[in-house]
Amino acid sequence: MLVPPSTARAATAPPRPPDGKGKPQAPAPPPSMSTVGGSRLGQPGTQVNLMPGAPELPANLSGRSWIVADAETGEVLAAHNAHWRLPPASTMKMLFADTVLPTLPKDQVHHVTDQDMDGVGPGSSLVGVKEDHDYTVHDLWLGVFLRSGNDAVHVLSAMNGGVEKTVKDMQAHAEELQALDTHVVSPDGYDAPEQVSSAYDLTLIARSGLQKQDFREYCGTAEAKFPGHQEAGRPREYFEIQNTNRLMTGAGGVTPYKGIAGVKNGNTTMAGSTFTGAAQRGNKKLLVTVMNPDHGGLNSVYEETADLFDWGFAAAGKVKPVGVLVPPKGTDTEPYGSPAKSHENTPVADGPPPAGGGGLGTALGIAGGALAVVAGGAFVVNRRWPRGRRGQGA
């Protein structure tokens, strides 16, 4: 059953009384939420079915919402408030990319104008796009994925017909994906009233994006060169940029996660820290989303994600799924376990993708190749639509 879209609002409860120390308590999830993907996913609290021999969930989890899913089968191994509508921060850029990437040729050159940069909010994360300079679409996507550049998002939105059109395109694509908790207000994820998504939706969106080779390569890029000052008669200047995904780069004291392949992090005042990650261990590929941990600092979202990855890989085959990542509307289901028919799903050889223009460096290039990680271009998800679960809403 397809669940009709509804006007999405941040699902919040009345303020809770202060704790014993006089500090306000974290908001509580709503008593019932969307049941897209299964009825268990609409229940508040942690949902997991441990079978004999399964490891216990990590004890230190504080994310207001999180989910662990098999990237290929779509089975949800465990979840916590999966459909709680919360501010997404820059993880919204995954939906932006999944919507707009197919519409603009990578080698298209754009001359940036003042109007292109209208609406970039104060305090935005920026890659350093300059007005009256030329950039390729490829350059701008590097700015979006690596530096979470709102300036690059707004220029690409202008190329797509403007911010208003892009927001409408994103909302329509979210509804096509059955990401029905998601309400788009700004294409870059900048804090805005009623802009919300959920751990379930962000995972669904990431899974869709990972079907696209360009998306995989960009989200799996650890470092690159970005165009700088442009002066007539002189070579263009370039500067190094690094991915803000600390599980990939090890920045900020985070231990890089072996097998990481992307996807996107975010942090704003309203959203706190958010992160959706994809990782592979052996033949198993997992997706994890964590939204707004209540404890720790900026690194807690990465630490809790890593703990959930470890648990998911250890628990594979030892838990009964509590739900499923549904396919897009109108998708014909394949027999369970059969890869979707798409040229994007053609397996690629192990190792990094061929060296490309623009100084693209995959995650395999970090630490001299000593880090056992998966290049985004090699992380191919062969989606399998579970038979009889299409559009499941109960």
Q: Is 106 a catalytic residue?
A: no
Please determine, for residue 16, whether its predicted confidence score (pLDDT) is greater than 60. Answer: no
Percentage of the chain beyond pLDDT 70 is: 78
- Is 90 part of the annotated catalytic residue set? yes
Res. 11 pLDDT band, cuts 50 70 90: very low
Q: What local confidence, expressed as pLDDT, does residue 4 receive? A: 38
On whether the CB atoms of residues 10 and 85 are closer than 8 A, the answer is: yes
Quickly tell me which residue has 């207000």 as its tokens.
185
Give the span between the Cα atoms of 148 and 151, in whole angstroms.
Answer: 9
What is residue 26's predicted lDDT score, i.e. its pLDDT?
Answer: 77
Tell me the torsion sign for CA atoms 369, 212, 86, 69.
negative
Catalytic residue among 34, 65, 90, 300: 90
pLDDT tens-place string over residues 343-392: 333 333 333 333 333 333 333 332 222 223 444 545 666 554 433 333 33
**Tens digits of residue pLDDT in 100-109:** 999 999 999 9
Over residues 189-236, the pLDDT tens digits come to 999 999 999 999 999 999 999 999 999 999 999 999 999 998 888 999
Q: What is the pLDDT of residue 25?
A: 73
Catalytic residue among 65, 148, 186, 273: 148
Please spell the DSSP secondary structure of 65-99, one letter per residue.
Answer: EEEEEETTT-EEEEEESTT--B--GGGHHHHHHHH
* Lowest mean pLDDT across 93-102, 146-155, 244-253, 360-369: 360-369
The pTM for the full model equals: 0.83
Q: Give me the domains of the chain, ranges plus CATH numbers.
A: 39-378 (3.40.710.10)
Distance of CA 37 to the CA centre of its chain: 18
How far the first Cα of the chain sits from its last, in Å, is: 8
pLDDT tens, position by position, 151-185: 999 999 999 999 999 999 999 999 999 999 999 99
Q: Is the pLDDT of residue 251 over 50?
A: yes
- Those residues whose C-beta lies under 8 Å from the C-beta of residue 129, and which sit 6 or more positions away, are 112, 117, 135, 140, 143, 149, 151, 152, 155
CB 265 within 8 A of CB 274: yes
The answer to whether 273 is a known catalytic residue is no
pLDDT tens column, 289-310: 999 999 888 899 999 999 999 9
Flag the least confident range among 4-18, 63-77, 253-267: 4-18
Which residues lie closer than 8 Å to 347 by C-beta, 6 or more apart? 380
Residues near 267 by Cβ (< 8 Å), separated by ≥ 6?
Answer: 89, 90, 273, 274, 298
Q: What whole-number distance in Å separates Cα of residue 383 and Cα of residue 93?
A: 22
The continuous run of DSSP H or E covering 173 comes out as helix 163-176
